[in-house]
Amino acid sequence: MADKEINRKLLEIAGFEGDELEAFLPGWMESVEIIGMTDEDIRYSVEEYIPKNWDIQFRGVRKMIGAYLREMVEITNTKKYKAEGKKIIYGILPAVCQPYSALKNAAGEDAYVSFPDLMLVTILNGFFDKADPYLRYAEELGFTYGCRHCPLNKMRVGSFAKGVLATPDVIWSWGFNCDEGPKTDEMIQCMLSESWKYVISRIPHDTAFGTPDDEYERVEYMSKVLKEGLDEIAEVTGIRPSDEDMKKAIKDAGRYSFKLGQLISLVCQSDPVALGGNSLTQFGQGVAVPFNCGIQYLEEALDITIKEVKTEIKNGTGVLPKGAPKVGSYFVPFCIPWIDRIFRENGVATTFSQTLSPSKSQLSPGKYGDDPYMSMAETWLKMPFGQNMGYEVEAMIEKVKANKPDGMLMGFFDFDRWLGAHQKMAADMVEKATGVPHYYIESDFWDDRDYSEEALRTRIESICQLLQMKKDME
């Protein structure tokens, strides 16, 4: 029998209170059991892992953790939902959430819609340091350790093979960045279950270096690809989002994105730095990932955090003393939250992430407001990390200039032949354009088995020393 008290404490940390907590607790404990975590795992999280690595002095951050824990329960309910006749629709990262949110808007409670592998790695490694058993299991099944595969895909294989995930009615895999994501579904279908139905949407990386990816012709093609994808899903599930469902999804995402931009700007302009990069980036997932419970819990957490950060700024307080150097990142590795902590232990604050910070172009109104497919396609094609390197670098330079970090941290995508491959070149270009030094760390965003705390500490300490010295000289 699992220990209720320790799980209750966890939920308190995660911003649950009173009746809501008591109502959520039984489902949460069932979920923990399905996932295979023990009381000791929860205790470690409550007493050590979360307090050491997350800014839980902020109610908004606690609520954000709570929003993710709700999603874990949803994932472990997928089999139950399927048995009840609900439709199960999965997706994968990277994507934009709008088309998936539109499906959820159309289906309501009759469908589960989210990215379970992403959620599981985020939750299990981000808050419990417990994704390993699933990753190892996928490796035992043939997702070989040595070939540097993506941990998200390993999680999809591992969690399905371990019986945590229901077979979806359909998984809609966007391969706009990634080759391995869609091919993982082919692998699951070939190896584990012929009934693993997938729909893939792809577009080649074929724009010329430095030319816009979001020009009309490409937007139009992608809009057709998205429409075909949604048509296929409608055929399989019977769920077809109306224009209103899509417009709502676009509006919700736009509102969330605006608030996120506001928080990032507040944090990056603050001195002392008001909030750490882990939390800041974790909020960023709201623009890319559909939450089956809806965006409202994460948005509530974001609203609270914005207020709390404003208060911190007003009071002149923060997570580090005034004047501490700040680093921006390509993507703050929040699934390995101790990296943020080591930076802070060395007097440097991590702040914004290039990838999930909206650029000016992303925040400006779209050109195709009346056409939801064009609009969604445009939203994706404005995401810098899907663009050709020359065009992406323009947005990176813009963000570095706007957020004024003392240094930039690149790397952490050693498994990704798209997002990880170009970072050294991009670093060189942005550094030349902005004068802000860039540091590259080869590591894995989702999985720290290959890159232990001790292995990375020396590198991080060196970076921090360099930044402190640069700051002193200034």
Partner 1 sequence: MAMKEILDELDSLSRARARELGKAKQEGTPIIEYTGYFIPEELIRAAGAETYLMCRGGEPEPPDAVLDYMLRFMNPLARSMAGFLELGLDPITPMSSMVVAQQTDNHVGRISELLEFKGINICKVGVPPDWTKDIAFEYYVESLKKMMQRVEEITGKKVDEALAKTYFEKSNKICELFRKLNELRMKDNPPIGFNEIIHLQHYSFNVDADIMIEKLTQLYEELIDAPGEFDADAPRILVAGRAFAMGDYIVPGLVEQSGGVIVAELLDEGVRPIEKDVALEGDLLVNFAKNRYLDKTPINIQQPAWDIRYDKIKELIKDYKVDGVLWYQLAFDEIYDMEYTCLSNWMKDSDTLLMKLESSYEYSREAMGPLTTRIESFVESLKEGK
What does 2-69 look like in DSSP terms, one character per residue?
A: --HHHHHHHHHHTT--HHHHHHHHHHHHHHHHHHT--HHHHHHIIIIIHHHHS-TTSHHHHHHHHHHH
Number of H helices, E strands in the chain: 21, 8
Give yes or no for residue 85 binding partner 1 (CB under 8 A). Answer: no
Give yes or no for residue 421 binding partner 1 (CB under 8 A). Answer: yes
State which residue, 140 or 244, has the beta carbon closest to partner 1.
140
Reading the block at residue 122, the tokens are 């985020």
What residues does 413 pair with on adjacent strands? 444
- Minimum Å distance from CB 215 to partner 1? 13
**Phi, psi for 202 (deg, rounded to 5):** -135, 155
Q: Which of 86, 248, 341, 422 binds partner 1 (CB under 8 A)?
A: 422
- Minimum Å distance from CB 174 to partner 1? 11
Name the nearest CA neighbour of 327 among 351, 306, 298: 351
Binding mask 379-398 for partner 1 (x = CB under 8 A): ---------xxx--------
Give yes or no for residue 136 binding partner 1 (CB under 8 A). Answer: no
- Minimum Å distance from CB 146 to partner 1? 8
| 398-417 residues near partner 1, rule: CB under 8 A | 413-415, 417
Q: Which of 206, 370, 454, 472 binds partner 1 (CB under 8 A)?
A: 206
Residue pair 182/198 in contact by the 8 Å Cβ criterion: yes
Q: Which of 195, 208, 370, 458 binds partner 1 (CB under 8 A)?
A: 208
State which residue, 101 or 201, has the beta carbon closest to partner 1.
201
Binding mask 182-201 for partner 1 (x = CB under 8 A): xxx-xx--xx--------xx
Name the nearest CA neighbour of 349 among 340, 359, 357: 340
Q: Which of 81, 90, 115, 143 binds partner 1 (CB under 8 A)?
A: 143
State which residue, 144 or 242, has the beta carbon closest to partner 1.
144
Q: Which residues contact 139 (CB under 8 A, 6 or more apart)?
A: 145, 154
What are the CA-CA distances from residue 267 to residues 243, 310, 344, 393 (Å)?
36, 9, 15, 22
- Minimum Å distance from CB 196 to partner 1? 12
Give yes or no for residue 147 binding partner 1 (CB under 8 A). Answer: yes
What does 311-378 look like in DSSP terms, one character per residue?
A: HHHHHT--SS-TT--EEEESS--TTSTHHHHHHHHTT-EEEEETTTSPPHHHHSPPS-TT-HHHHHHH
Q: Which of 96, 171, 225, 304 binds partner 1 (CB under 8 A)?
A: 225
Given the rule CB under 8 A, which residues bind partner 1? 141-144, 147-149, 175, 178-180, 182-184, 186-187, 190-191, 200-209, 221, 224-225, 228, 388-390, 413-415, 417-418, 420-425, 428, 442
